[in-house]
Chain A
């Protein structure tokens, strides 16, 4: 089954304790991206990757890191989480990225609800 898999689904952590949220897709998609969803703000893009070893900042990258060492995986790293990073996080992938021609839609993972206390 074609899908984007995020882990964990739920995570409660303490301020300053490094964590990684994993994202994996099995569709051989070139483009992957991370979003956070907050009430009243919709989905805001954190980082994206157009291909392996090619990553760039989205609109809210502060406090986050990513890596794209292989096509299928795009982990989101919070080096020193803070309470304002409490949010619902989504990973997404697509065959082509925005601005690369026809956009057929993006496949999203089921989300990771992160609470930082």
Chain B
């Protein structure tokens, strides 16, 4: 059973516009959520994270929003740039002592294409 889901396999946006990537989760025991970016032939690189006690975290052009009641998080990229074209993964980790301790659970990924 997929605990973290990214239902959109791909997204295409114009340079300068906003990119919104979505992620849903099923386990209310997750306490941290992270976004990773992955270019071809490279490992994923950490982008931004958010604790379950917050509903928003911002880092430059990247903002992550967390809606705990809906079990939904989103990554906003504003403005989008061609260099942002990559696969984006959301991931979640559980509270210490939960069944998911030690596990970082990833979604399927969304391929973002930013057109010049």
Point out residues on A near B: beta carbons under 8 Å: 4, 31, 33, 35, 40-45, 48, 50, 56, 58-59, 90, 92, 97-111
Contact = CB atoms under 8 A, between A and B. Distances in A.
Contact of A42 (B6, B42, B103): B6
A95 B104 CA distance: 14
B98 interface: yes
Contacts, number: 82
Interface string B62-90: 00000000000000000000000000010
Given A43-B106, A44-B106, A99 B95 contact: yes
Contact of A98 (B42, B43, B94, B109): B94
Interface of B: 6, 9, 31-32, 34, 36, 41-46, 49, 51, 89, 91, 93-98, 100-109
A45 B103 contact: yes
B103 A100 contact: no
Contact of B100 (A4, A92, A99): A99
B43 A99 contact: no
A13 B53 CA distance: 47
